[in-house]
């Protein structure tokens, strides 16, 4: 009788260990899946930014180059600006800022003001959240 109890205890211990190991594997699988989903989500956001938002920036550039706009076109530009703001897209600060090669693309060095400071912006740059969507093209003081 005592022998049967010992065997039963051993069987129960083995089952408990199997269940615990199964739970540990399931937990590890879940954590790996969660990490993979987060990575895929980040990739999707980056893809969306590049594929979807970059062409919209070209439209904004056209509005900026158009100069004076009539009321209807100005309203459309405002809608684009609102859409970009809603999409967490914001313009990179340039003129008067210290040149930052991560945010600015220097296209020319010019004489004049304080060395290493952005003098002029030739094309706006944009951020999505804290990620660079497109660097600003700038002229920098020597």
Please write the tens of the pLDDT for every residue from 20-51: 999 999 999 999 999 999 999 888 877 777 78
> What is the CATH topology of the domain spanning 88-142?
Nucleotide Exchange Factor Grpe; Chain A, domain 2 (2.30.22)
Instruction: Give residues with Cβ within 8 angstroms of 83, minimum separation 6.
Output: 56
Please report, for the chain, the start and end positions of each structural domain, with discontinuous segments joined by +.
Answer: 1-87, 88-142
**C-alpha neighbours within 13 Å on the C-beta side of residue 118:** 24
Query: What is the reported pTM?
Result: 0.61
pLDDT, tens digit (0-9, with 9 covering 90-100), for 43-102: 887 777 778 788 888 888 888 777 776 877 888 888 888 888 888 899 999 999 999 999
The residues, any chain, with a CB within 8 Å of residue 120's CB and separated by 6 or more, are 95, 110, 138, 139
Strands (E), 1-112: 89-91, 104-110
């Amino acid at each position: 009788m005592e022998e049967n109890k010992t065997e039963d205890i051993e069987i129960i211990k083995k089952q408990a260990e199997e269940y615990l190991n199964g739970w540990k594997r399931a937990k590890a699988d879940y954590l790996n899946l969660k990490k993979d989903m987060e990575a895929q989500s980040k990739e999707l956001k980056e893809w969306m930014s590049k594929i979807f938002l970059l062409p919209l920036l070209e439209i904004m550039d056209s509005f900026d180059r158009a100069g004076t706009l009539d009321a209807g076109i100005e309203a459309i530009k405002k809608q684009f600006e609102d859409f970009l703001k809603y999409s967490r897209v914001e313009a990179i600060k340039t003129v008067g800022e210290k040149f930052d090669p991560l945010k600015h693309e220097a296209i020319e060095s010019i004489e004049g003001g304080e060395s290493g400071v952005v003098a002029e912006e030739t094309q706006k740059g944009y951020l999505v959240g804290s990620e660079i969507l497109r660097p600003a093209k700038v002229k920098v003081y020597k």
